[in-house]
Amino acid sequence: MARRIFIFTPAALGVALGVLAACQTRRDPPTENSSKTTESPAHPAAPVANATESRPASHTWEAHGVRVKVPADWVEKKNPDYEMFLVPAGAAPASDEDARITFDVPDLPPHLPWMLQMSRIEHDYQADLKKAHPDLKIDASEDAKIPDATARLVKSSWHENGVTHHDTALLMTHANGVYILGMRATEKNLADVTSAYEGVRASMQWVK
């Protein structure tokens, strides 16, 4: 995406790192009267859709050489800062920071493969978060096993208006590019969002 510009130097790499159930009413049979009428057959009411049938189904998202499975009950939302932006079905716009799963592929200027240094990518990602959240705490940072990629899983948290917010970022370099599978959640919904996020992560496949 154009929102993040990477600047490369020989010494370092800078990273600035969203059914309708149709129903049919029954027609009442015409009332008998003295005049001759033709009765129309009554139409039975359509069955009410089962609640599970109206839930957003799981589907595949693919772009920029990667494919993932979008979990059921999550929907895609347009966001110019991310290639993929998922929120829980029915979520209010103000809750984007409270529960979201994102995939970002930052735009890179011309570079050589050795310029993509994971240590620098992680450092600048954390610095970017700390600018927005001064009390940022790094809860975990460890290597992650992703086929055909160098990956680092970074978990952090901060407080805002008395609420604890969590950020998880899977930072990856693959095919001379940078990829970020991210997640945001609050303490209240952390377990549910993490479960959906792990499903997306497990389904990820490179297609180039």
**What's the pLDDT score for residue 169?**
98
**What's the pLDDT score for residue 110?**
78
- Pair of tokens at residue 76: 């895609």
The residues, ordered by sequence, that sit 6+ positions from 176 with a Cβ below 8 Å of its Cβ are 111, 113, 116
Give the mean pLDDT of 62-78. Answer: 95
pLDDT: is 185 or 47 the higher one?
185
Q: Nearest 5°: CA angle at 50, between 49 and 51?
A: 115
pLDDT tens track for 102-152 = 999 998 777 777 788 999 999 999 999 999 999 999 999 999 999 999 999
**What's the pLDDT score for residue 43?**
47
Strands across the sheet with 84-88, in order?
A: 74-76, 84-88, 99-104, 177-186, 163-174, 150-160, 137-144
- Quote the pTM value: 0.74
**Domains of the chain by start residue, with CATH:** 7-18+56-206 (3.40.1000.10)
pLDDT tens track for 76-98 = 999 999 999 999 998 776 667 78
Q: Calculate the average pLDDT of the chain.
A: 79
